[in-house]
Amino acid sequence: MEIDSTFVDRLRGRSDRLFDLLANFHQPRILVVGDLTLDEFLTGQVERLSREAPVLIVRHETTQQVPGGGANAVYNLAQLGAQVKVAGLVGQDQQGEALKRIFTEAGVDVSGMFPDRDRPTVTKTRVSAHARQSVTQQVVRIDRKSDAPPAGECLQAVANYIRDQIDTVDAVVCSDYGEGVLSPATIAAALSHPLTVVDTQKHLERYRGATLFTPNLPEAELAVGYAIDSLESLQQAGKDLIELTQAKYMLLTRGDAGMSLFDAWGNHEDIPAFNRTDVFDVTGAGDTVVAALSVGLALQGSAWEAAVLGNLAASLVVRQFGTSTTNAADMRRMLATLLEPGMLPEVG
Q: Which residues are catalytic?
A: 287
Report yes or no: 191 and 209 within 8 Å, Cβ to Cβ. yes
List, in sequence order, every residue forming a beta bridge with 113; answer none if it has no partner. 88
Report yes or no: 296 and 310 within 8 Å, Cβ to Cβ. yes
- The whole-angstrom separation of Cα 153 and Cα 141 is 32
Buried-exposed string 324-335: b where 16+ CB fall within 10 A, e elsewhere: bbbbbebbbebb
Burial of 312 (0-12, 13-18, 19+ CB in 10 A): buried
Helix axes 15-23 and 328-339, enclosed angle (nearest 10): 170
272 Rama class: left (phi>0) / alpha (psi -120 to 50) / beta = beta
Side chain identity at 110, as an amino acid letter? V
Q: How many CB atoms are closer than 10 A to CB 153?
A: 9
Q: How many CB atoms are closer than 10 A to CB 230?
A: 9
- The whole-angstrom separation of Cα 302 and Cα 335 is 17
Buried-exposed string 39-53: b where 16+ CB fall within 10 A, e elsewhere: bbbbbbebeeeeeee
- The whole-angstrom separation of Cα 128 and Cα 60 is 10
SS3 of the chain: helix, strand, coil, percent, to 5: 40, 30, 35
**Which is nearest to 14 in space by CA: 346, 264, 343, 348?**
343
